[in-house]
A and B are shown apart, each in its own frame.
Chain A
Amino acid sequence: MVFKSKKIAKMADNMAAQGMGKSHSLWSDARRRFFKNKAAVVSLIILSLIIIFAFAAPYFTPWNNEEIDWAILGSVAQDGKPSFTTKHYFGADPLGRDLFARVAQGSQISLMVGIIGAGIAVIVGTLYGAIAGYFGGRLDNIMMRLVDILMSIPYMFVLILLLVVFGRSIEMLFVGLGLISWLDMSRIVRGQTMVLRNKEFIEAAIAGGLNRFTIITRHIIPNLLGIVIVYASLLVPLMILTESFISFLGLGVQEPNTSWGALISEGAGQVLYGTLWQLGFPLFFFVTALFSFFFIGDGLRDALDPKDR
């Protein structure tokens, strides 16, 4: 059509004059906004350092997490102080074991519990919530009532019961945490899915002949990721806190494995003896990591704010 080419030429001039600029997806916009948030970026760096510490530190010390230093056993309060000479950089715990190595190992466990626990919650919760939210009706009703029932069970009680009955192990901890952590996520995802489901681009996808599974995976879930990521970043510290509490009660990871909670528990009990480093170091890592997660979560929320879309 002749007149079209002239129109398109004019339009091209227009666009050039308008300067559409570089193409940018919503993710790159969000990334840009995130990196402008100083608190979030600093927290990200700090968290990365903690992670590096957790996994690399054991290589930098001659001690491992269960080896007892017989030389200082019995006089830990005096000889077990943090020092470079004894190579106990963080000092020693009440049983003479190197705290540096133990804190590193504890960090590994706590972080893994947090991240893997949150990961399970995200995957299970998102799929569950998206299916319930998309199909609605009776299926949604049944699925959500199940969630309600599970939520009304006092989880701490169940968790402790599981650990007592089936024995304390990391696997049990994951099972227990996994059972409770996906519930909130599924509710949030379900709500968001219901909002998305009514949007016109979903109707367009149906009119385009897509099957329901493809609609959920291609159209709904990518638009959920924003809220899922934000919530997940808040879930990680929650998992760490839960695990820490369990360990603080003495029901968490088994010796010689340890976690922040267990270390804090030990350290708190030893404060009277003046061995403050036994409480201080694990507490420092614990608190710093949690704060970092919270700031990152805040930063993510601001960056992914749907209002700006």
Chain B
Amino acid sequence: MSIFEVKGLSVNFTTINGEVKAVNNVSFNIAKGETVAIVGESGSGKSQTVLAALGLLAENGHATGSVKFEGQELLGLEIKNLNKIRGNKISMVFQDPMTSLNPFLRISDQMVEVLTLHKGMNKKAATAEAIRMLDAVRLPDASQVITRFPHELSGGMRQRVMIAIALSCEPQILIADEPTTALDVTVQAQMLELFKGLTKDFGTSLILITHDLGVVAGIADRMMVMYAGKMVEKGNVDETFYSPKNPYTFGLLHSTPHIDDPEKRLEPIDGLPPSLENLPSGCAFHPRCAYSMERCLIEEPKLIVEKNGRSNACFYKGKLGDKESSE
């Protein structure tokens, strides 16, 4: 049962150099309790997609299309009503916990704020609930931590606080934008375990935005790959990892070093990610694609849903891996 439905979402930015399309006609659904990863590199539009949904775009950005949460349209919703949903039913955790927390306020103030606003609790009850949440995210010594300022905590601890704040109103959906990129590997592993546990305990859907395929393999049920603002492949994680259909996905998987398989020479994707202001004609990936045909230069492939529920946007129907991407 889908609680989050995105249909034909496009995001345009008005810049000095003209209109830049950061997100181009993206559609997907999220079901209750599932963990979905949106994968892409810089410029893929993965972050802008969710920012648009939550009304967090920069001033010069405008979103068109439809984003429905539990049947209610979010795009264009008045701020008053949007605020009842943001932080409450849909929360977000960002990459850099230092800049997401107010350095001038104690942790208790920042957590209590959310609870008094959305749950109408009084300060005392909110503080108790905040401590309970900090325990739930396995922050040791929660009653001490809550009295501190952000700069007194380490990166991992601050990220846990962010997650605690995001979860304090028991949202239906938690969006995490590169939540572990800035963290050390061992801390990242703990954080991912935490996400897994929390989504199970609270039944929260998790939208995870990342460029790290290892992270995706660790906790996602389904994944969506974005390139130059378009969605190029969707499917469940196992199938997509073991038999990707899109040449870009294939390229990404083969350019990631496997710690278990170090001898294999990496097969990088040739060329550079495109500039959004100057996209190639037809399929945006064609200049870098080893499987491109004449059609790819002229037409943009549409995202087609295939029989087994997987989607792919590509004209090439053959087997991937037959051709080497570098001669």
Contacts and interface: CB of A to CB of B under 8 A. Distances in A.
B327 A17 contact: no
A6 B327 contact: yes
A10 B288 CA distance: 8
A7 B275 contact: no
Contacts of A6: 326-327
B270 A7 contact: yes
A32 to B, nearest CB: 11
A17 B280 contact: yes
A14 B287 contact: yes
Interface in A1-58: 2-3, 6-7, 10-11, 13-14, 17-19
B248 to A, nearest CB: 15
A296 B220 CA distance: 56
Contacts, number: 29
Interface string B267-281: 000111011001010
Contact of B271 (A2, A3, A11): A11
A170 to B, nearest CB: 48
Contacts of B280: 17
Interface string B284-320: 0001100000000000000000000000000000000
A17 to B, nearest CB: 5
B237 to A, nearest CB: 31
A150 B271 CA distance: 58
B272 A14 contact: yes
Contact of A18 (B270, B274, B326, B327): B274
B278 A13 contact: no
Nearest to B327: A6
Interface of A is mostly: helix
A14 B278 contact: no
B270 A11 contact: yes
Contact of B326 (A3, A13, A17, A19): A3
A19 B272 contact: no
A7 B326 contact: yes
Contacts of B288: 10, 14
B327 A3 contact: yes
Contacts of B271: 10-11, 14
Nearest to B275: A18
B270 A17 contact: no
Interface string B147-166: 00000000000000000000
A19 B275 CA distance: 9
Contact of B287 (A3, A7, A17): A17
B229 to A, nearest CB: 16
Interface string B166-200: 00000000000000000000000000000000000
Nearest to B286: A17
Nearest to A5: B327
Contacts of A19: 278
A24 to B, nearest CB: 14
A31 B320 CA distance: 50
B267 to A, nearest CB: 12
B201 to A, nearest CB: 44
A6 B327 CA distance: 7
A3 B326 CA distance: 7
A2 B326 CA distance: 11
Nearest to B274: A18
Nearest to A14: B271
Contacts of A18: 272, 274-275, 278
Contacts of A10: 270-271, 287-288
A17 B278 CA distance: 8
A17 B297 CA distance: 12
A275 to B, nearest CB: 53
A6 B326 CA distance: 8
A14 B292 CA distance: 14
Contacts of A13: 287
10 contacts: A2-B327, A3-B327, A7-B270, A10-B271, A10-B287, A10-B288, A11-B272, A18-B272, A18-B275, A19-B278
Given A3-B327, A10-B287, 10 more contacts: A3-B326, A10-B271, A10-B288, A11-B270, A11-B271, A11-B272, A13-B287, A14-B270, A17-B278, A18-B275
Q: Which 4 A-B pairs have the closest CB atoms?
A: A14-B271, A6-B327, A10-B270, A19-B278
